[in-house]
Structure 1
């Protein structure tokens, strides 16, 4: 059998029926009667407990299950609204272990520590014969600390050779409450982890499709996820001036006339996001918080840009609001991405992932794709799904996240916005 992947997507009048239908469709794609692993992406229109009951009634109680609420779901067959989407894996060359920990917002360090240490140790007897490992991290998308969650997962695993993939749970862009699942458990304010141990290597890639259009600007005043000043200027003003010419030429929009909350306002926040060129290290962050100075020697340069979406910006003067904390001293560039850029980005990510398998056939995989990319692509989102299919020619399931986790690319830090993460299994 080696490794087989099946996917399913369903809607229904209730959660248990939708869960059962999605799981049955996924099982049709594999030869095994009971899969080893199942990942669930679920619209908040359903009762999550009912969905999990329906899925587990089909896949069986021995299948390890994790998942989360989402802001859009898709498989290789395309995307649909308000679905239950399931990806299952059956393998005689892999082992799967899952865990869930709560209280993420109140004490994220304890929460991540407990979650990671509930997984088998690297030299545990049940996995020591498997040389390749990966961890899926799904976490509450409202707590706005996805970057810290990713860093702590890496730290507590204490093995920088283990790639971490996954994403921040969504809720159809309501930004009210998100949930993660583990076997029969459903929790908000929590993290769910899955450890995958394999005889063969996985493939993990990330790409975003944004290009810088401004000079670097330093964050000179910030608090949490709100940036008040860039280079000593009001942050929104600095962003507006940076995009003014491009927005007029590309979209015919005069940014001086933007109304907060308008369709054009929200569209531009998604097209012109901020790319992190460099971040202060831990000591520099402490200094920056005290003296609010830009210290060039404190920065760690990277070749790639981690994208940050200013989607919580509420007005057209003053601050920029993000979905993740931005430290004072961070160096940012304004970036831009079009629909063709976004399709090309995910096609490149998928193609690179297939190439990473070194000629081995692709059994299938999972894709963690940002809700911001879906907003940019709009009705053309299926063009991106088709691009993935062309590149890997295998089943995959994915969801639209509030932030993406991928620690496997040395050009980036481990947490992303408006990016696509592709995670593949060899046959």
Structure 2
């Protein structure tokens, strides 16, 4: 635990903090002791479901009374020390380098496309009032209730309203319970809610996306589905679980989260493939997905490639583009972690994240541009000001 007297007075860039304290009050005090006393534009909190979200947020906002606090619960944390569980991760954005505009989206179960577009327009107008052009160093973060099942409609509506502002984010998690997730806005925890945050910065930045799957020639067509619940009942006019097992070459007795993590299916959109991962098999043999599905949708069985090598390639590309990176703010599907644990390269991935300063959380789904998908690492890399020390 850091000494409160040692808190830096004038921050720069993004400051990362972590706590594994036993209680909400102790964790909040620990986190705040590691952040600057003032001059923060925003604090993002990624909170393990090990903690009560209401109690923690009340404790942290008491200590950060003048700072906007947003964030969400997680399925695991990307901490400054690598992959973690039962912890709190916080990111403090220095006011000297960032200007932040945030809008909540309440009532996702009744979300209307026109509402999402209106919110995006409002935030753009707020940017304009502060002298920012659309291309003037602005990017967006979106945090969404991971149980809302409305991410595709939300992202499509928001992205359309933001024109050329790049957008990235993640769906809140609940460990592996899949019961209830929470999104934080202005220091309070909400369900059935998302928050859109536009961030203007003078620092170099780049959005990134990384996965480790390639398409095969094996195809499956969704022939019966419950679209609202994201449940596929039939594939190729056969019971969904049976046909999925046949297509990927496994026994149906083996179906569990680890196997789904190792064998996602892909959907082709605009010439690119995106993962559509399965959350669980239902007692009737149907499959519940993390992402939207539709009857007639063609699913392609995937072939995996080396996850560590793919991540290293992505990191190198980002550094080649913007130079030295101070932090990678990451949103990573929990299924990527399960796959790494199952195939015994989790330690190597965690060490790569620690050494590269990838900080964020494990999600129930990732956002990038107008898209929502799974089994991917998305995020934004923040560069350093030339000559700055960190």
**TM-score bracket relative to the smaller structure:** 0.7 to 0.9
1:42-57 to structure 2, matched below 5 A, reads 42-57=47-62
Q: Which secondary structure does the structure 2 equivalent of 1:376 belong to?
A: helix
Q: Which secondary structure does the structure 1 equivalent of 2:65 belong to?
A: coil
Whole-Å Cα distance in 2 between the matches of residues 68 and 309 of structure 1?
21
2:264 alignment partner in structure 1: 273
2:338 alignment partner in structure 1: 375
Q: Does the 8 Å contact 1:214/1:242 carry over to 2?
A: no
1:418 is aligned to 2:375: yes
Deviations 1:244-298 (A, max 9, x none): 1xx5xxxxxxx1xx33xx6x533222211110024xxxxxxxxxxxxxxxxxxxx
- When the two chains are superposed, the root-mean-square deviation of aligned CA atoms in Å is 2.5
Whole-Å Cα distance in 1 between the matches of residues 26 and 223 of structure 2?
52
2:15 alignment partner in structure 1: 6
1:106 is aligned to 2:110: yes
Superposed displacement of residue 231, structure 1 = 3.2
Deviations 1:299-355 (A, max 9, x none): xx41x321011122224x7432212220223221011437xx232333333333323
1:403 alignment partner in structure 2: 365
2:275 alignment partner in structure 1: 307
Structure 1 counterpart of 2:302, from 325, 331, 335: 335
Whole-Å Cα distance in 1 between the matches of residues 66 and 198 of structure 2?
16
Structure 2 counterpart of 1:65, from 69, 80, 96: 69
Superposed displacement of residue 46, structure 1 = 1.4
Q: Does the 8 Å contact 1:154/1:164 carry over to 2?
A: yes
The TM-score normalised by the length of structure 1 is: 0.79
Superposed displacement of residue 64, structure 1 = 2.7
1:14-93 to structure 2, matched below 5 A, reads 14-27=23-36, 33-58=38-63, 60-93=64-97
Deviations 1:64-118 (A, max 9, x none): 3210011101223123221111111215243111221210012253663464355
Q: Does the 8 Å contact 1:371/1:418 carry over to 2?
A: yes
Deviations 1:99-156 (A, max 9, x none): 2121001225366346435524276221426712111100110012222221111023
Structure 1 counterpart of 2:186, from 169, 180, 183: 183
Q: Which secondary structure does the structure 2 equivalent of 1:215 belong to?
A: strand
Structure 1: any 5+ residue segments left out of the alignment? 248-254, 279-300, 408-412
Q: Structure 1's 103 and 61: CA in aligned 2 closer, same or farther, altered over 3 A?
A: same
Whole-Å Cα distance in 2 between the matches of residues 72 and 118 of structure 1?
33
Consecutive aligned runs of 4 or more in structure 1 exceeding 6 Å deviation:
none
Q: Does the 8 Å contact 1:3/1:90 carry over to 2?
A: yes
1:150 is aligned to 2:155: yes
Q: Structure 1's 123 and 47: CA in aligned 2 closer, same or farther, altered over 3 A?
A: closer
Deviations 1:160-181 (A, max 9, x none): x211111110111111111100
Superposed displacement of residue 37, structure 1 = 2.0
Q: Does the 8 Å contact 2:83/2:353 carry over to 1?
A: no
Q: Does the 8 Å contact 2:155/2:371 carry over to 1?
A: yes
2:349 alignment partner in structure 1: 384
Equivalent pairs counted in the alignment come to 370
Whole-Å Cα distance in 2 between the matches of residues 54 and 180 of structure 1?
16
The TM-score normalised by the length of structure 2 is: 0.86
Q: Does the 8 Å contact 2:206/2:318 carry over to 1?
A: yes
1:356 is aligned to 2:321: yes
